Structure 1
């Protein structure tokens, strides 16, 4: 964009035009390198010029107009890149990917909530604190006035009771390693 024809600019824009003439070529070169498209770089350069004109007298008070112009060029380039959403035509015969089945343990959310409620308050508190809220057993012991070994035992017993409820009320099944492998959907009981 050549602004050399702008000889009749109002005096308040003289400093903008002067700085623009001094740095326009290097701004265009920078934008062309970044975008690798000369005509697109000229469009972005036009936006930078408009922003500098809008700055008006504020631009004239800048200590380093070149630095300001390059900063505006960079942010305008980033904005332009964010807004440019490439479109790709997809073939008509494209098949949607088959969704992976959810792991059995993930499908137990509702059943877990129902069965946590069946536990007594002490069991529910230790499981919620240590297993659901990632509190350490040591911290749980300290906040509840227990020894570490007592808190570990309480957590172990609470997990065993929860496991029994999940087997009885959710149809949870375990593999040979003791890991949840599947469950049979059962009515909420």
Structure 2
């Protein structure tokens, strides 16, 4: 305990200054410093094995700060007209209606892209399994699926005139005419 107290007293002010530079609220700095001290006390039996005690203290303080920041949930005030905001269900209705465009766009993709999307996204096959059955490395399979998704997204945006909001969610679209009654091999109807 004497070694720990000596180490702490030598570096406490430096730790406090380091935390102040990263956390503007003084009360938070003191709380983080106290939490750091508690963590260091719990690890005291490990202290003789630590090659660089000062660096170790800063590592514990950094991890404590990160834990505190991750746990913080920022509060965002509601707008004054929050009741007039569109319902989330309206966005879901647009997405549900957009599903009608999927078979048409899928039929327009090349066979390799269509297969990747049908197996991994529509049938829920794991990409590792897709890689195995196609004789690909996992990395190559993931790339193939990503490229297929990107091409499908581009086709959806172009063909169905899909527009996206700032968050990347579907905002609006123009439905395309349905597929002809004759089904093409490998397509969903």
* Cα shift readout 1:93-133 (whole Å, capped 9, x = no counterpart): 22324756459875333x459x97xxxxxxxxx95325443
Separation in 2, partners of 1:103, 1:61: 60
* Cα shift readout 1:6-43 (whole Å, capped 9, x = no counterpart): xxxxxxx1111110000000001111110011111010
**Aligned match for 1:133, one of 101, 113, 116:** 116
**CA contact under 8 A between 2:100 and 2:175: conserved in structure 1?**
no
Q: Kindly report the root-mean-square deviation, in angstroms, between the aligned alpha carbons of the 2 structures.
A: 3.8
Separation in 2, partners of 1:73, 1:52: 9
Structure with the greater alpha carbon radius of gyration: 1
- Secondary structure, in 3 states, of the residue corresponding to 1:133? helix
**CA contact under 8 A between 2:98 and 2:175: conserved in structure 1?**
yes
Runs of 4+ in 1 over 6 A off after TM superposition: none
- Secondary structure, in 3 states, of the residue corresponding to 2:69? helix
Separation in 1, partners of 2:57, 2:2: 15
Relative to the length of structure 1, the TM-score reads 0.52
Listed as ranges, the gaps of 5+ residues in structure 2 are: 118-133, 135-157, 161-173, 182-188
| RCO higher in structure (CA 8 A, sep ≥6) | 2
Measured after TM superposition, the shift of residue 183 of structure 1 is: 3.4
Listed as ranges, the gaps of 5+ residues in structure 1 are: 1-12, 117-125, 135-142, 144-177
Note if 1:66 corresponds to 2:49: no
- Secondary structure, in 3 states, of the residue corresponding to 1:183? coil
**Aligned match for 2:175, one of 165, 179, 182:** 182
**Aligned match for 2:4, one of 11, 16, 30:** 16
Cα 1:76–1:105 shift into 2, 3 Å: same
Separation in 2, partners of 1:103, 1:51: 50
**CA contact under 8 A between 1:104 and 1:183: conserved in structure 2?**
no
**Aligned match for 1:108, one of 101, 106, 112:** 101
Greater displacement, 57-66 / 91-100: 91-100
Q: Give the total of aligned pairs.
A: 123
Measured after TM superposition, the shift of residue 185 of structure 1 is: 6.9
Cα 1:66–1:96 shift into 2, 3 Å: same
Relative to the length of structure 2, the TM-score reads 0.52
